[in-house]
Structure formats: C-alpha cells, structure tokens
Amino acid sequence: MVSRVSALLYGVGGIVVAGVALLVAFQERLIYVPVLPGLTKSYPITPDRFRLIFEDVWLRSSDGVRLHAWFIRLLPDCRGPTILFFQENAGNIAHRLEMVHIMMQRLKCNVFMLSYRGYGESDGFPSQHGITKDAQAALDHLMQRTDIDTSQIIVFGRSLGGAVGASLLKNNPEKLQVAALVLENTFTSILDMAGVLLPFLRWFIGGSSSKGLKILNCFVRSPWCTIDIIGQVRQPILFLSGLQDEMVPPSHMKMLYAKGAAHNGHCIFVEFPTGMHMDTWLAGGDHYWRTIQQFIQEHAVEKKHEESCNDTEPR
C-alpha cells in the first residue's frame, strides 16, 4: 500500500516537474508564433497587393523598442471610423490583409495594423509586458494624428489580439474618445488555455474560475487574464464567437461576455454557427459584417453625431 502511494506521489511530482519544465522552456514559443512553419519573418505581401492607400508607420514603445505598423486609408481624405486592429498570435499583419481589405470595403473605415514586437518588421521579442507597451504606443500615435477623427477609434482584437485590446482599454480609462471594443474568438486567459492545449496540466494551472491547484500559475510569464479585466472596460463591447472554434473553446467567449455584461450595460454577444478560430469573418458572411457595421454605426458614428448636435445647442 505504501509503495502504491509513493508511486502515485512520484507520478504527480513527475507531472508537476514536467509541466514546470515545459512552461519555463517553451511558453513563449507556444504563445507567440511570429513565423509560420515554412515561411520567413518578413511580410510576404504589402497593402499594395490590394491597391490600398497606406503609409508605413514607425513607432517607439515606452521601453525603446522600434515598432512597425501600416496605416491604411479607405480614401485619401477619409475621416470616418478608424479601426485599431490587433492580430492573433501566429504570423504577421500581412497575413490579415485579405480580411482587412474586405473589412474596409464593408465597414467604410480606415485600419491601423500594428506589428507586435518580434513580429514582421518590428524589433524585439514578444511578451505580455512588451506587447502591452506596443499597443499603448499605437493608441497614443492614433490619438495624436490630426488627419483622422479620434472620437471614432474602434479597437478590434481577434484571439490574442482581443486580450491585447481589452488590456489597452482597461489601462486607459480616461481615453473615452475610443468609441468601442470588438473581441473575436478570445480566450479567458492563457492560464485556462494551458489546460486546453495540455490537458494533463489543468489540475495544476488555471485562471480565476479554475478549480485546480494553480501551483504552476507563477511560472507563466504571459497570463493574459482577460476574464479578470473585461469588467473594467467602460466602452461598448461586441463579442463575436465562432461556435466551431477548434482552438479556443466557445465557452471562453460566453464567460467573457457574462463578466463584461455584469459591469457594462453596452455589451452584445453574437454567435456564428459555422465559424472556426480563423475564418469566422469568412464563414459568417454578410451577417458577420452587418453585425459589426451596425455596432460601429451605433457606438461611433451616431455617437459622434449626437455629440456634435449637443455642442451646437444654445446654452
């Protein structure tokens, strides 16, 4: 009996040690994938491929890392909504250009695409601490531009980008000029995703809603706990969930919505039955784009019109 207990304890200990080793050695490689297999870090195409009007933007994060971005205009003098787009964890912004091209046509907006540090032509190495600074640099740049309407900025994040966007708005409660937040197929936290991708770890790692021991949480350098901050976002939030998501369980989006809606009366949740992790925008078709268009119209365009009317009323 004693030998069996000892064997069990050794087995559990071995799992914990293996889990720690995996987390310490490979976590950044699992979370951040700037280079897709068989490809290079550089951009395979630029917005020129789609005949888009764009400029290369070079930024400096607050810790001095040189960052690259594309600011893509709908028209030379377009002052309509501007989407600050944060991508997923794999590949670079060039791999999203087909979707962004359609986004601009359907939503009649400008798009600012940021390359996180370590991605595309940006310097440095990705981490939660660093990417948070990168997102701040992007927002600060947009707020200082005089050729866009800074009251019609919409933050749009997909997967990891949703965590980046939520963190950005949580860290900038005073910047209420940012009109809204759109989250698509975003996880509750990397801590919860660790248990999804590596099931044997779920008893030793997890987010705030996990029932596990969480003894490995302290080893995670990029926890991205969106579930813990979504309730602090004051802007309207649109949650877009692909129900066939093969990477992030759709239940994560439902939990994010529930947490957000408990603190924010301007949350909308929309499901797309055939949407997978990367193709919800494609599988959702016209319904997908109309949903976002109506959300932007209500919370950016009409809001701007109401503010303009209020400014012209006699006092």
141 belongs to the catalytic site: no
pLDDT tens digit sequence for 231-275: 999 999 999 999 999 999 999 999 999 999 999 999 999 999 999
Alpha-carbon distance 68 to 78, whole Å?
A: 22
To the query of whether residue 68 is one of the catalytic residues in this protein, the response is no
* 306 pLDDT higher than 50: yes
User: CA 38, CA 49: separation in Å to the nearest integer?
Assistant: 21
Distance, in Å, from the CA atom of 181 to the CA atom of 84, rounded to the nearest integer, reads 10
Q: Give CB contacts under 8 A, 24+ apart, made by 214-218.
A: 215/16, 216/16, 216/19, 216/20, 216/23, 217/191
pLDDT digits (tens, 9 = 90+) for 31-84: 999 999 998 999 999 999 999 999 999 999 999 999 999 999 999 887 889 999
Catalytic residue among 134, 149, 192, 245: 245
Q: Which of 159, 189, 222, 241 is catalytic?
A: 159
Phi, psi for 79 (deg, rounded to 5)? -120, 25
314 contacts: CB under 8 Å, gap ≥ 6: none
pLDDT for position 309: 45
pLDDT at 20 over 90: no
Whole-model pTM over 0.75: yes
Which residue in 140, 151, 266, 277 is the catalytic one? 277
Categorise residue 68: left if φ over 0, alpha if ψ from -120 to 50, beta otherwise: beta
Tell me, yes or no, if 159 is annotated catalytic. yes
